[in-house]
Amino acid sequence: MSRSMITGGAGMVGRQLASLLLARGEQVDILDIVPPERLPADIRDRVTLVHGNLSSWSEVMEAVARSRPDTIYHIAALMPPNSEQNHAASWEINVNGTMRVLEAARLFEVGTVVYSSTTATFASELPEPVPNDHPQFPEMLYGVTKVCSERLGEYYHRRYSVNFRGVRFLSILGPGRVPGSGWSAYTSLVIEECAKGNPYVIKVNEELRLRFIYVKDAALSLMKLADADEERLTTRMYNLDGFSASTRELVDGVLTYMPDAQISWQFDPEYQHVMDTRYGVIQHRMDDALARQDWNWQTSYSREDAIRDFIEDVRSGRT
Ligand SMILES: NC(=O)c1ccc[n+]([C@@H]2O[C@H](COP(=O)([O-])OP(=O)(O)OC[C@H]3O[C@@H](n4cnc5c(N)ncnc54)[C@H](O)[C@@H]3O)[C@@H](O)[C@H]2O)c1
């Protein structure tokens, strides 16, 4: 039976990935800093939660030494705005944490390390679509830490044959997103809060159009990349794309299923400015041709599918 370790496995993507891996019979260890009750009920008793912090060499080494996973999905990270407010923590968790995971993978001969990067590794002024190998000059420290991790992973692959591979996600839409986990978190929170019967206030304009990948597609991409045939990989890092939605389209999607949803608008020019500048990158389409070609990647969820599935999962308590 294969064994996988997911760093940050209690988070939005990690919990979906854990479900997918469990469904195909894998043993799953989650390395995270949260208490067990933060794991969704449907996976809590089926995974091993290893309480460990990426900031600690001994905790990461010990976790990997005990688990001896075939694959590590390294997806824990500090995201904006938190990453931009605490530079030291951002570097420690996102860059040094990745170094610790890669060292552990090297020393304990882990078969594959799959990494979740971000399209925020690119600048805001970009060609359309953004090529896989476009130069990376991030607007935020978050993006800088992710570029560093991509290059570290590639270095460990070249120098030590660690089987590192990764994807760059757009903004991820899905349940389980916490305020503070990205400036674009409002796009998920408006759906989740309304599905729970709570009111929600939006601070950006109706026209703001971002590109998204649904969280179940995001989790599936990590599993598919882990499974991909090494011979067919032409790079170690892959752009992914998804669907586009304006704020108005997201809200209309919510109102289709929940006509009584209490959504109000309270425009905040500063928030809008951040979305248009530092977050401008997620308004761009990514060229994901290499992912399609090398490991037959394609998304399953359109905007409408994603909103419907999201609401159903929240209402049925499957999050
Ligand atoms: N959410 C998005 O829109 C988005 C977009 C692009 C890329 N990504 C990337 O995808 C990955 C997953 O994102 P997510 O939305 O699931 O994040 P999340 O914030 O929901 O989950 C991150 C998890 O990492 C854990 N964690 C944080 N610091 C840790 C530490 N020091 N040691 C151990 N665990 C720690 C958290 O407790 C949490 O469970 C991240 O690498 C992120 O950079 C996310």
Least-confidence region, from 33-47, 152-166, 217-231: 33-47
Beta bridge partners of 46: none
pTM beyond 0.95, yes or no: yes
**Contact between residue 224 and residue 297 where contact means Cβ atoms under 8 Å apart:** yes
Q: What is the 3-class SS of the chain, one letter each residue? A: CCEEEEECCCCHHHHHHHHHHHHCCCEEEEEECCCHHHCCHHHHCCCEEEECCCCCHHHHHHHHHHHCCCEEEECCCCCCEHHHHCHHHHHHHHHHHHHHHHHHHHHCCCCEEEEEEEHHHCCCCCCCCECCCCCCCCCCHHHHHHHHHHHHHHHHHHHHCCCEEEEEECEEECCCCCCCECHHHHHHHHHHHHHCCCCEEECCCCCCEEEEEEHHHHHHHHHHHHHCCHHHCCCCEEECCCEEEEHHHHHHHHHHHCCCCCEEECCCHHHHHHHHCCCHHHHCCECCHHHHHHHCCCCCCCHHHHHHHHHHHHHCCCC
CA 212, CA 161: separation in Å to the nearest integer? 33
- Reported as a single tens digit per residue, the pLDDT across 165-208 is 999 999 999 999 877 777 899 999 999 999 999 999 999 999 99
pLDDT for 280 equals 84
User: Tokens for 224?
Assistant: 């598919």
DSSP β-bridge partners for residue 209: 246
| 181 CB within 6 A, ligand 1 | yes
Domain 3-172+211-242+289-295 has CATH 3.20.20.80: no
Q: Which one, of 237, 60, 55, 61, lies nearest residue 151 by Cα?
A: 237
Asked whether the CA dihedral 138, 139, 141, 143 is positive or negative, the reply is negative
Where is pLDDT greater, at 183 or 32? Answer: 32
pLDDT at residue 279, rounded to an integer: 82
State yes or no: pLDDT of 312 exceeds 80.
yes
Instruction: Give mean pLDDT, residues 126-137.
Output: 96
Listed residue (208, 108, 122) closest to 162, CA to CA: 108
Going from the Cα of 218 to the center of ligand 1, the distance in angstroms, rounded, reads 12
Whether residue 23 is predicted with pLDDT greater than 80 in this model: the reply is: yes
| Confidence at 318, pLDDT banded by 50, 70, 90 | confident
Quick: pLDDT tens for 213-238: 999 999 999 999 999 999 999 999 99
Whether residue 1 is predicted with pLDDT greater than 90 in this model: the reply is no
Identify whether the C-beta of residue 119 lies closer than 8 Å to the C-beta of residue 281.
yes
**Domain ranges within the chain, ordered by starting residue:** 3-172+211-242+289-295, 174-210+244-281+302-315
Nearest-atom number in ligand 1 for the CA of 15 is 16
Average pLDDT estimate for 269-286:
90
pLDDT digits (tens, 9 = 90+) for 86-123: 999 999 999 999 999 999 999 999 999 999 999 999 99
Best residue for ligand 1 mutational test, from 5, 6, 7, 12 (most atoms within 8 Å of Cβ):
12
pLDDT (tens digit per residue) in 49-91: 999 999 999 999 999 999 999 999 999 999 998 999 999 999 9
Confirm or reject: Cβ of 239 under 6 Å from ligand 1. Answer: no
Indicate whether residue 98 lines ligand 1 (CB < 6 A). Answer: no
pLDDT value of residue 125: 86
Compute the distance from residue 79 Cα to the ligand 1 centre, in Å. Answer: 7
Model pLDDT, residue 177: 87
pLDDT at 277: 86
- Is a pLDDT exceeding 80 seen at residue 255? yes
